[in-house]
Structure 1
């Protein structure tokens, strides 16, 4: 990513968050967060990664609502942008937070299991397995 696309991605993340929170009134929207935005080099399209807290159905409903409102959101985005073209908006499910939580849970579980495991009677073994 270039500096220009990174800046545009951050700008879009902030503006889209504001537009969705203030202008979009859809009961299907659950607890969501725009985690990041990837903008194409020519600024014609943007992938908006959304993390949704809730059940699988709530996740599906929220993404359907956002995808269905993409045109409406673009209309509200246009006056806020200083570019000639407004990017096409592609809302994507971001499960990276869930993945990170799963890794954290696994590491904590392994740590607990390791703490329960008794040390050899003679103490800590060296790398060759000798006490």
Structure 2
């Protein structure tokens, strides 16, 4: 299963967070297996969700446009 995560911070922080999640994936998978009644528990693959970054960038552009028009 793909697990998308948002991480605030530098690119280095994001990379370290993904590394940490990847190293804990087996443990997290075991925890999911304990909690959910699934026949097989999927492997967990973590990736960055940059949606929040994009939303913040759009918000900044709109603010700049509003300030320029005012």
Q: TM bucket by the smaller chain?
A: over 0.9
For the pair shown, which has the larger CA radius of gyration, 1 or 2? 1
Q: Which residue of 2 aligns with 1:61?
A: 16
Match of 1:78 in 2: 33
- Relative to its length, the structure with more strand (as a share) is 1
User: In the aligned structure 1, how far is the partner of 2:13 from the partner of 2:37?
Assistant: 34
Offset, 1:81: 1.2
| Superposed displacement of residue 47, structure 1 | 1.0
Q: So what's the TM-score if we normalise by structure 1?
A: 0.51
| Cα distance in 2, alignment partners of residues 56 and 84 from structure 1 | 37
TM-score, normalised via structure 2 length: 0.93
CA RMSD of aligned residues (A): 0.9
Say how many residue pairs are matched. 70
- Tell me the distance in 2 between the aligned counterparts of 1:79 and 1:59: 28
Partner of 1:99: 54
Residues in 2 aligned to 1:76 and 1:103: alpha-carbon distance in whole angstroms: 37
Higher RCO (C-alpha under 8 Å, 6+ residues apart): 2
Q: 1:9-54 CA deviation, whole Å, 9 max, x = no partner?
A: xxxxxxxxxxxxxxxxxxxxxxxxxxxxxxxxxxxxx111100011
Unmatched segments (≥5 aa) in structure 1? 1-45, 116-131
- The structure that is helix-richer by fraction is 2
**What is the Cα deviation at residue 59 of structure 1?**
0.7
